[in-house]
Amino acid sequence: MSPAQITLLGAIAGFTIYLGLPLGRLQAPLPRIKALLNATATGILVFLLWDVLAHAWGPVDASLGAHRLGGALADGGVLVAAIGIGLLGLVYFDQAANRRRSVVAHGPGTAAVDELEIATVRGSAGRLAMMIAVGIGLHNFAEGLAIGSAAAGGELSLAVLLVVGFGLHNATEGFGIVAPLTGHRPSWGYLALLGLIGGGPTFLGTLVGQRFVNDTLSIGFLGLAAGSILYVVVELLAVARKAALKTVTTWGLFLGLVLGFATDAVVTAAGA
């Protein structure tokens, strides 16, 4: 199988994320359905957070087991720094965006305030969806590295199985991205952009992985993904608390975790 064919498979694995994006076009869902969708997305992201951190910590753990303290400190430092950048960077970005909205909101009449509040709600949902897409995109870049490195090492059957497994996994991630947008009717163009941000890095990672494999690079991207996913999980949990539908939310979290483990089982069966 040629490098071009492997790259094409990597693109397919990434862009299965588009399968779940049309759910974002659901119009005015019932409160319980919306709470279930948000909670299921949160469950998927909680699974991804665990999965990302487990893979990122693997090289550090291996270095510690082999008594390579220098390598463990270096990789551990990269991981901690990347998590901090991914998590705190989004916190400060969100604070800056809130300050800009406060300045814009100062002084308009009642009708303008109402319109501004509607726009703010839509903007908040879109921004949260974008943050989820960025976090998942960083995670998917590392998945692309795995596909590319397997192909570069001559393990074509493993590379193909990884494409199948990651493709199934990414389909559920698309649903996680658009969960905050249900009821807001985002444009098809915006959904396409979210899919490109979330799924495109799998394609890019496949390209890079065929030519350059480095544990530290992979740890850095996984750490960034973990930090951004953690931030989004906190935001989605805040949304769930406002909904005050504890039973529905708990079932959604459980369903999301089950979906995450089920799709990841395919990847594990492929030997990743």
Give residue 124's domain range.
3-269
For residues 236 and 239, give the distance between their C-alpha atoms in angstroms, rounded to a whole number: 5
Instruction: Say whether pLDDT at 163 is over 60.
Output: yes
pLDDT for 262 equals: 83
- Cα separation values, 125 from 185, 251, 266, 267, Å: 11, 22, 32, 31
73 — pLDDT class (breaks 50, 70, 90): very high
For residues 86 and 220, give the distance between their C-alpha atoms in angstroms, rounded to a whole number: 10
Neighbours of 99 (CB within 10 A): 10
How many domains, in total, are found in the chain?
A: 1
135 dihedral zone (left: phi>0; alpha: psi -120 to 50; beta): alpha
pTM over 0.85: no
Tokens 């990789």 map to which residue? 75
pLDDT for 157 equals: 63
- Reading the block at residue 228, the tokens are 């951004």
Phi, psi of 35 (to 5 degrees): -65, -40
Phi, psi of 151 (to 5 degrees): -65, -40
81 — pLDDT class (breaks 50, 70, 90): very high
pLDDT for 267 equals: 62
Q: What are the residues whose beta carbons fall under 8 Å from the beta carbon of 31, sequence distance 6 or more?
A: 243, 245
> What is the rounded average pLDDT of the residues 149-174?
69
The radius of gyration of the chain from alpha carbons, rounded to an integer in Å, stands at 20
- Is the sign of the CA dihedral 46, 52, 56, 58 positive or negative? positive
Is residue 252 within 8 A of residue 36, CB to CB? The reply is yes
Any alpha helices (H) in the chain, and if so which ranges? 3-15, 31-65, 69-105, 110-152, 156-178, 188-209, 215-243, 246-269
For residues 58 and 160, give the distance between their C-alpha atoms in angstroms, rounded to a whole number: 23
Look up residue 239 and give its DSSP letter.
Answer: H
Instruction: Say whether pLDDT at 153 is over 80.
Output: no
pLDDT, tens digit, 9 for 90 and up, residues 95-137 = 776 676 565 445 555 444 444 333 444 567 788 888 888 878 8
Exposure string of 77-86, with b = 16+ CB inside 10 Å and e = fewer, is: ebbeebbeeb
CA 109 to chain centre: 39
